[in-house]
Amino acid sequence: EEEKRKWIKGKKLGEGTYANVFLGHSRSDPAVKVAIKKIKVNKEFTDGMPPDAVREVKALQELNHPNIIRLYSVFASKDQNLSLVLEFLPRGDLETLMFDQNVTYNAADIKAWTAMMLRGVWFCHENFVLHRDIKPNNLLIGADGELKLADFGLARSFADPHQLMSPNVITRWYRPPELFFGARHYSGAVDVWSVGMVFAQLANRRAWITGGNDTEMVTLLHRELGAITDDVWPGVSTLPHYVGPGPNPEKPRDLQFYIHNFRPLGTEGCHLLMQTLMLDPKTRVTAKQALQHKYWFADPRPTPTELLPHVP
Ligand code: ADP
């Protein structure tokens, strides 16, 4: 109740799957503009918040980094709904930007955005936070052009689980193979995979692997990235939901394959992409390693943040 009084709610900015979003500002400093995200909490499960979600909110409140959306405050209202007070990011998201035919962008812009994504992910992982839901529409753009990781799957953990099941709503395109196969212990490597898929999508302005359901995703992963077997990922076949490649398994993908399909990234970019999309999460590059890759130092240099293109 105390927290709630600190913020003044303004007009509705938009409606998402799990939340209504309002413009707002700080009562004590009207220059501090915020987005107030009112989560639609499922009424059947209002016995308090899930403990994991609470822990996650606390962690996010303490993550201060230019490439992670600031979470200023969290409060519950009388009707049990939960509000998150977030940094206001007025320039849309990476998905809108990629789909907008009025926006053109080049290899230097892709490099700048991917670097910002990786810096945000690196900082999360340094602080033992996994994002778990990196995808273009969760990458928001600030007034200064800075790209920020948003929606830490935390809205979801408070939301209606039935809504969650709707296959048209949740995209699986950025999810790594270890999650489809039901790995119980997963790591920061899940976020690195998602970054790789966004990087690939930036190159061609279209998502790479777009299965309509989990089964189709696994089929496509085998087909596009090469057969996922114990040869390339020792022990994968023992995972609880493992499904093999079927007849005529595809060969492992080499650098030439990536250069052929993701040419805008250049040779170094393709090498980095390949390392972010290693099937075996143990051999996948970490965010920290990815930030030390030669790609960042090769031409073209990344576009300065303030010069990046944006949705008009
Ligand atoms: P979705 O469920 O589609 O991901 P959200 O619930 O995150 O959507 O947000 C709904 C809409 O609110 C977005 O499309 C966007 O226009 C707006 N929005 C969300 N977060 C912010 C923010 N931090 N700053 C400005 N606008 C935001």
Q: How far apart are CA 67 and CA 4, in angstroms?
A: 26
Does the CB atom of residue 149 touch ligand 1 within 6 A? no
How many CB atoms within 10 Å of residue 170?
A: 15
Distance CA 9, CA 102 (A): 33
Q: Measuring CA to CA, how many Å separate 8 from each of 23, 36, 38, 101, 270? A: 9, 9, 13, 36, 47
134 contacts 121 by C-beta, under 8 angstroms: yes
CA end-to-end span of the chain: 38
3-state secondary structure of 26: strand
Mean pLDDT score of the chain, rounded to an integer?
90
Residue having the nearest C-alpha atom to atom 19 of ligand 1: 21
70-93 per-position pLDDT tens digit: 999 988 877 777 889 999 999 999
Query: Ligand 1 pocket: which of 7, 9, 11, 13 to mutate (most atoms <8 Å of CB)?
Result: 13
Beta bridge pairs of residue 36: 22, 85
Cβ pair 284, 193 in contact under 8 A = yes
List strand residue ranges (DSSP E) for 88-205, in order. 139-141, 147-149
List pLDDT tens digits, range 259-284: 999 999 999 999 999 999 999 999 99
Nearest CA to ligand 1 atom 16: 14
pLDDT one digit per residue (tens) for the chain, 312 residues: 788 999 999 999 999 877 899 999 999 999 999 999 988 776 555 555 656 666 667 778 889 999 999 999 988 877 777 889 999 999 999 999 999 999 999 999 999 999 999 999 999 999 988 888 899 999 999 999 999 999 886 655 555 544 443 333 347 999 999 999 999 888 899 999 999 999 999 999 999 999 999 999 999 999 999 999 999 999 999 999 999 999 999 999 999 999 999 999 999 999 999 999 999 999 999 999 999 999 999 999 999 999 999 998
Reply yes or no on whether 133 is catalytic: yes
Whole-number Å distance, alpha carbon 78 to ligand 1 midpoint, is 23
Q: 179 CB under 6 A from ligand 1?
A: no
Q: Could you say which of 52, 93, 109, 133 is catalytic?
A: 133
Contact 234, 280 (CB under 8 A): yes
**What is the C-alpha to C-alpha distance for residues 188 and 193, in angstroms, rounded to an integer?**
9
pTM for the predicted model, two decimal places: 0.92
Q: What is the pLDDT of residues 93-114, one digit of tens each?
A: 999 999 999 999 999 999 999 9
Tokens 């016995």 found at: 47
Which of 194, 173, 183, 181 is CA-nearest to residue 284?
A: 194
